Amino acid sequence: MAENPSGLVVESFKLTKIYQNRQIALNDVTLRLEPGCVLGLLGPNGAGKTTLLRLILGLHRPTAGWVKLFGKIMSPNAAASRRRIGYIPTNPQFPAGMTPITYLDYMARLFGLPLEVRKPRLASLIRAVDLLNVSGDPIAGFSNGMTSRLAVATSLINEPDLLIWDEPTHGLDPEARRSMLELIKSLAKEKTLIVSSHNLSDIDEVCNHAAVLSRGHLIYFGSLQDLKGRMRRNHYELDLDGDQKNIAKAAGAIKGLNDFKSVQVRQRRLELRMADDVNNSSALANLFMTLADNKVTLVSIRSVGQQTEQAFLDLVEKEESRGFARAYQQQSEAA
Amino acid sequence: MDTPALPKAYKINRFLPYWAVFQADLKQNLRSWLFRAWVFLSLAAAFGYMLYRYGAKQVGFIQPASTLISELLTYVVLGTVTIILMLTGGTICSERGTMADSVLSRGISRFQYFFGKWHARLAAILGSYLVMSIIVMVSAYCLLHGESLSLWGAAVAILAVGAILAVVITIGVTLSALVNTTMVSIAIGWMLVNASCFLLSMLPDNYPTPDRMLKNLPNILRGMFDLTMMSRFIGISLGVSLAVALVGMVLFARRDV
């Protein structure tokens, strides 16, 4: 597009936010988000996720650096850029006394949508999020699931190109959570999304990119596959079949192998932790041979720990263990 | 992946976000118990006082309508400044955080948001003041000695008091955009208004200050006033109001919400 030569949806450069010279909320965040990305924003509490989202939305002004949306610098007065965003805050609040119809109409007017556009659209959205039978009721009496659905409708009223959803599955029951994830998946086919969540399995399911923040610093930005690739795969569980004596004998033989630092047998389940420096393929090959030699059948094998979660925890742990070394590394990266 | 956005088949109405905020805030203000209490108490006090004066007239005392109206207008300014600051001091800061998120994260600029809020408060308070003033003025004209009242003088008096109220409203809305809590906003506003009045009262006699204008209200209502001086007073008041709002708007656009 001529108005956006870079073609990027979101671009930030050395984005830094310091609150009143007291708290460094975000430090030197540089990222580039292409159209079609579904970015999962991860990080512990206080990592700076919401600050980053608020800077992208122009609700906060950066202390240093900049953020561009669709090629234009974002600022509190950049209403035109915000017309292309659909936002859901963590705990959406609604004005007292409004109904879904009046609230959506208000939001649509805030986007400057003319009457002949906003009325049919809000009606379609109310139907789509299954609030038709309560469309005239005050929002104050709505359940968490209903307010979440209304927030989804609000974020779609302007047909945005970019969706920013902060904790969209927060407080939802399993059924509502499943619907929300399915909705994100279908929206991801045509829109760019930034989804912030504490629930790593949600991110794992719907996102193709991840950004990990730790204490205001972006410690990872890239594809979710690459993030999983960084994970230490050293913890396995095996379900076995065969004579209990044979299983115990096989476990004893496995303990004798140098590949494993911990071997535990519970009934017919074997839990293994590999030594850090071994190749897991050859170690698993030795393991299978040992089981076969002892006439033990392998029923199933699985890597323990949710993959994205493990990779995320590894990253945060690694970042925190770097100590002062990170200062040197940052300088050398800058040079 | 890099598909260009489809052109929208409609035209965005850039005035609509301002109008939406204006209407929402106006409704919210008219529904607030403080606003309703202000209107009710002002009308009750005005009619109570008017009946008292009417009783005095019935037993033969001269009761000029201009005196009663000037006293009531003075009461509006002096007696309800704090209430007006309370009505305006939380305009923006009370919505900080999640509620402001749901509005300011949409297609509205900070300027439009500020203007919408400011104009809504001006419309609600000045509109109510205007209606109440006209009701009281017509009642006083009919019940008391109305010959002392000049129509032109009454219009100028209402405008002059309205100009003072506009400054107070603007100060309240501006402070609400610049501080974090309603209480702080009201406290600063109250101190600012009183300190300004005190400092203005020390100006030489030929300067049109609020306290002098209020003292001169009975004469203004009789039609005896210097038009240049009154025009200057109203003009300066509106100029101050506009300047304060501009400062508030620019600073609000530079703040985090």
Give the pLDDT band (50/70/90) at residue A28: very high
pLDDT tens figures, A270-304: 888 888 777 878 888 888 999 999 999 999 988 76
CB contact under 8 A, B105 and A94: no
Per the model's pLDDT, the better-predicted residue between B247 and A262 turns out to be B247
pTM of the shown model:
0.82
CB contact under 8 A, A95 and B20: no
Give me chain A's average pLDDT, please.
86
State the DSSP string of A217-254: EEEEEEEHHHHHHTS---EEEEEEES-HHHHHHHHHHH
| Mode of pairing for the β-strands spanning A64-69 and A72-73 | antiparallel
Per the model's pLDDT, the better-predicted residue between B113 and B144 turns out to be B113
Q: Per CB distance under 8 Å, which residues of B are interface residues toward A? A: 1-5, 8, 10-17, 19-21, 24, 28, 31, 98-112, 253-257
Give the pLDDT band (50/70/90) at residue A10: very high
pLDDT surpasses 70 at A326: no
pLDDT of residue A306: 54
Backbone angles phi, psi at A133, to 5 degrees: -75, -10
Closest CA to B117 of B151, B144, B93: B93
With beta carbons less than 8 A apart as the criterion, state whether A92 and A149 touch. Answer: no
Backbone angles phi, psi at A307, to 5 degrees: -60, -50
Distance CA B125, CA B131 (A): 10
ipTM over 0.90: no
Distance CA A64, CA A67 (A): 10
pLDDT of residue A17: 96
Quote the tokens at residue A46.
């206080």
Mutation site for A-interface testing, chosen from B102, B108, B117, B255 by largest number of A Cβ within 10 Å: B102
pLDDT surpasses 60 at A7: yes
Distance CA B69, CA B139 (A): 10
Beta partners for residue A303, in sequence order: A236
User: Which chain A residues are within 8 Å of B254, Cβ to Cβ?
Assistant: 61, 76
CB contact under 8 A, A87 and B101: yes
pLDDT surpasses 70 at B198: yes
Give the pLDDT band (50/70/90) at residue A96: confident
pLDDT tens figures, B219-240: 888 888 888 989 999 999 999 9
User: Which chain A residues are within 8 Å of B24, Cβ to Cβ?
Assistant: 95, 106
The A297-303 sheet, strands edge to edge: A260-266, A269-274, A235-241, A297-303
With beta carbons less than 8 A apart as the criterion, state whether A285 and A255 touch. Answer: no
pLDDT of residue B82: 87
Give the pLDDT band (50/70/90) at residue B167: very high
Least confident of A55-69, A169-183, B14-28, B230-244: A169-183
With beta carbons less than 8 A apart as the criterion, state whether B178 and B248 touch. Answer: yes
pLDDT of residue B75: 79
Nearest CA in chain A to B25: A95
pLDDT tens figures, A160-216: 999 999 988 887 888 888 888 888 998 988 899 999 987 778 888 899 999 989 889
User: Which chain A residues are within 8 Å of B256, Cβ to Cβ?
Assistant: 19, 54, 59-61
Per the model's pLDDT, the better-predicted residue between A202 and A25 turns out to be A25
pLDDT surpasses 50 at A1: no
Counting one residue from A and one from B, how many pairs have CB atoms under 8 Å apart?
Answer: 114
pLDDT (mean) for A29-37: 93
pLDDT surpasses 50 at A2: no
State the DSSP string of B136-203: HHHHHHHHTBGGG--HHHHHHHHHHHHHHHHHHHHHHHHHHHHSS-HHHHHHHHHHHHHHHHHHHTTS
pLDDT tens figures, B63-93: 677 777 888 878 777 778 888 999 999 899 8
Give the pLDDT band (50/70/90) at residue A330: low
* A226 backbone φψ class: left, alpha, beta (φ>0; ψ -120 to 50): alpha
With beta carbons less than 8 A apart as the criterion, state whether A226 and A253 touch. Answer: no
With beta carbons less than 8 A apart as the criterion, state whether A18 and A9 touch. Answer: no
Gyration radius of chain B's alpha carbons: 21
CA torsion, points A173, A176, A177, A182, in degrees to nearest 10?
170
Percent of chain A surpassing pLDDT 70: 90
Quote the tokens at residue B230.
């009154």
Find the CB nearest B107 among A7, A111, A117. A111
Distance CA A165, CA B206 (A): 61
pLDDT (mean) for A36-60: 91
CA distance B115 to chain A (A): 13
Give buried/exposed letters for A197-236 (b at 16+ CB in 10 A, else e): bebbebbbebbebbbbbbbbbbbbbeebeebbeebeebeb
Report helix, strand or coil for A298: strand
Quote the tokens at residue A198.
């504490």
